[in-house]
Structure 1
Amino acid sequence: MTLKEFWRNYNIYDGIKNIADSWEEVKTTNMKGVWNKLWPQFAHGFKGFAAEDIAEARQAVVDIGNNQLQLDINEDDVLDLLESHAEELTNEDLMELEQQMIAFEEEGRDQETSEPKKFLTKELAEAFRLIEAGMSKSQQAITVAVSSRTLFNMADERAIYESDGLESYVKYQLDHENEPLKKGLAFALMKALETVNFRLHELYPGSDETFDIVLMTNNHAQVGVRLINSINHYGLSIERFCMTGGTSPINYLKAYHTNLYLSSDPMKVANALSEGIAAATMCHLDKDTQLSEKQLRVAFDGDSFIQQEQDNKKGMRTSGLFIGNCKESEDRVFPDNGTLVGFLESLGRLQKKFYAKNERLNCPIRIYLIVKKGGSTAGLKALKTIRSWGLDVDEAFILNGLPANGLLSKIGPHIYFDEQTLQPTSSTAIAQCKSR
């Protein structure tokens, strides 16, 4: 046969057969030698199991079978089992396995003969009731939303924004994102709220009825990295954030189930009040006063809401935080609950949880009443009004004309509800209370 005839008769089958025959002649030592040169760190010198190792393994299998599984086996049984698995399955074996799988699936379908469960209207109503109960449990927390510029002192960063524009501001924040921001007006208040939460968890493990802090900011989300880093630096327990990238965060307060919104911007406070959300303007009553981080202190100016109540009885329309707008009937005036009353009632429930555990004297929530102008009659009305919200006043100061400035410095309230402090900022809402 000439070379030309050989190539004429040579086909793909012959090529594959030649490759297979050649591959059979390649030894393991040849492969190891090649890999040692190409990739030595992944090559190994394994030459198979030693005979004594195999014998020990077989004996171990026999010991487990006899001692732990209570089987009567010996080494020959183990060898027979291994040899049976070493053999290639025949077509008959494969067909038998397929028949076994089909029988197994049919048996499973036969067991699924029960009809789908049908729910009655009563059962569906109960299911929805349980779902609503679960959702309401997650909403038991008293949500306090605080603005980023209130929690942290961002005056320097704000100056960059006003002088150099948004992009310079964002760049500065990104360049300094690992530097913690300075503490702001609301910092001590946040620490006091965390103290209340810590004590509640001690007395009521697993309870959801605590303060839940949300950081609200109209900053870009990229700036939020520095905010979160600052929160972690100071060890604050804030896990909820709202970063709106230039739009007003007021639009999202209801989505976060906000009970009280705190900001240093009176306009934002007014907007929140107009949405029916309790809000307060943060400002210093006395910059030299050191506020407690171990006790939440709330003070009320009793004169303000007593005067408003008297105006309501006379039929004068007011838009206050405590009493609310009036609805006139034929013979009397019915005041609605004020914007802040819902928050104060929730605060009262937390206060009572400490009292229930005989912790009245060690309660981390302390309520103060200051009546500056009135005497005992005004003080009595104020005490009863606050009590109607579910709050117990711990300390009351009826001054009957004495100045209250020194007293406020001594108390150091985190929140001072004074409806006569700020002037109205809109026709629908008045930011008339101070928060330290």
Structure 2
Amino acid sequence: MAIDLSETLVIGISATALFDLSVADGVFNQQRKNDPDSAMEHYRRYMLENESQPLPDGTGMPLVKALLALNDHKKADDPQPIVEVVVISRNSPETGYRVLKEIRRRGLNITRSAFTAGEAVTHYLDAFYVDLFLTTNEDDAQRVIDTNQCAAAVMRPPPTQAFQCTETQVRFAFDGDAVIFDDTSELINQTHGLDAFHQSEDERQDIPLEPGPHAKLLIKLSKIQERLPGRIEYSPVRIALITARNSPAEMRVIKTLRNWGVYVDEIFFLGRITKGAVSKGVQSPYLFRRSGRPSGSRCVRCAFS
């Protein structure tokens, strides 16, 4: 019988986000520069020769560990995992062996994987029911977002000293417009100005905002919150929404979340106050915000605050 993952948060992650493969990538890139025709064979040989060497953590490893730890809260009579992690990599199956071996060595509860030997990962995200794809490659993330299959985020290296992550609680923070919600309202602000934006949002407060590229992820996070032990002061998953909106544009946000059946723990209507200080106060290592790429890009970065 096929597994039901409709109530499970499914994370797809590239091999380079799970583990630090920068040395191996450097070997490949240098050989491609010297002799493009032999670069792939040289890379394959390097991976085979070093497949017994441990791999360092990638930028996505802290999040993966924290999310997998949520399964410890699963009720005994609950048949489905709260979180599922799938490795989806453009490595070949042969070079991917080193990744699989490292997963086993560490005892990570990751049982599903795909190695496409250079083919785009977008072909397989639906097959694995992925809700969020984590990668170190911004072009890959952009392609995932453009196909509208799931949310995608670019994992940036954390600040050496400021970064903190706990495996006992996962904190997420999201931008509002163009991330959780689509950019229609934002375009009114850009085209007609703040006063027109406020008037439009106040008049439309009973009309739910259209979902943005990360709306499905927020909805799924809200669903898994319902499966976790809920305490007022502490929950294994905590969600914050940080938006540049303020009154009278705030009511539409609250009513939209109600319409979606979504509960967030914290919400901040900043009215163009800088988000940096609030992000630090929220203490979320994972801030999903719109990329600084050129206009038209909907790629979202997962930034470490």
TM-score by length of 1: 0.57
1:351 aligns with 2:221: no
How big is the shift at 1:313?
7.1
2:284 corresponds to 1:413: yes
Structure 2 partner of 1:174: 48
Does structure 1 residue 270 correspond to structure 2 residue 142? yes
Instruction: Answer yes or no: is 1:222 the counterpart of 2:94.
Output: yes
Structure 1 position 351, deviation (Å):
0.9
Question: 1: distance between equivalents of 2:55 and 2:104?
Answer: 11
The answer to whether the Cα contact below 8 Å between 2:178 and 2:213 also exists between their aligned partners in 1 is no
Q: Give the structure with higher Rg (CA).
A: 1
CA distance in 1, matches of 2:6, 2:263: 24
* Structure 1 unmatched runs, 5+: 1-133, 317-332
Which residue of structure 2 aligns with residue 208 of structure 1? Answer: 80
CA distance in 1, matches of 2:129, 2:266: 31
The alignment-based identity, stated in percent, is 24
CA deviation profile, 1:186-216 (whole Å, cap 9, x unmatched): 11110111121211x2x35333152111001
Q: Is the 8 A contact 2:82 2:227 kept in 1?
A: no
1:137 aligns to what SS in structure 2?
coil
Of 163, 166, 186 in structure 2, the residue corresponding to residue 292 of structure 1 is 166
SS in structure 1 at match of 2:131: strand
* CA distance in 1 between partners of 2:288 and 2:218 (Å): 11
Q: How far did 1:140 drift? A: 4.1
2:298 is aligned to 430
On the 8 A contact 1:383/1:393 being kept in 2, the answer is no
Q: Which amino acid aligns with 1:156?
A: V
The residue identity in structure 2 corresponding to 1:219 is N
Would the aligned equivalents of 2:173 and 2:240 in 1 still touch at CA under 8 Å?
yes
Contact 2:219 2:262 in 1 (8 A): yes
Quick one: distance in 2 between partners of 1:302 and 1:339? 11
> Equivalent residues in 2 for 1:37-76 (5 A)?
none
Pick aligned residue for 1:243 from 94, 101, 115: 115
Q: Could you say which structure has the higher helix fraction?
A: 1
Separation in structure 2 between the aligned mates of residue 302 and residue 334 of structure 1, nearest angstrom = 13
* 8 A contact 1:292–1:412 mirrored in 2: no
Which residue number corresponds to residue 242 of structure 2? 370
Instruction: Give the root-mean-square deviation of aligned CA atoms.
Output: 3.1
Is this contact kept in 2: 1:302–1:379, CA < 8 A? Answer: no
Tell me the amino acid that sits aligned with residue 52 of structure 2.
N
8 Å CA contact retained: 1:144, 1:260: yes
- The equivalent position to 1:161 in structure 2, one of 5, 13, 28, is 28
CA contact (8 A) 1:260 1:277 kept: no
Contact 1:191 1:294 in 2 (8 A): no
Higher relative contact order (CA 8 A, sep 6+): 2
Q: Deviations over 1:305-353 (max 9, x none)?
A: 6793524779x8xxxxxxxxxxxxxxxx996533322222121111122
What is the aligned partner in structure 2 of residue 102 from structure 1?
A: none
Residue deviations 1:11-45, cap 9 Å, x none?
Answer: xxxxxxxxxxxxxxxxxxxxxxxxxxxxxxxxxxx
Q: Deviations over 1:155-184 (max 9, x none)?
A: 111110000222222222111112221111
Describe how 1:92-107 pairs up with structure 2 within 5 A.
Answer: none
Q: Indicate the residue corresponding to 2:70 in structure 1.
A: 196
Q: Note if contact 2:138-2:154 (Cα within 8 Å) is conserved in structure 1.
A: yes
* Aligned equivalent of 1:146: 13
Q: Alpha carbons of 1:159 and 1:410: their partners in 2 closer, same or farther (altered >3 Å)?
A: farther
**8 Å Cα contact 1:300-1:418 kept in structure 2:** yes
Whole-Å separation in 2 of the counterparts to 1:410 and 1:154: 33
Distance (Å, rounded) in 2 between the aligned partners of 1:246 and 1:406: 41
**Cα pair 2:17 2:59 within 8 Å, conserved:** yes
For the Cα contact (< 8 Å) 1:277–1:339, is it kept in 2?
Answer: no
- Counterpart secondary structure, 2:167: coil
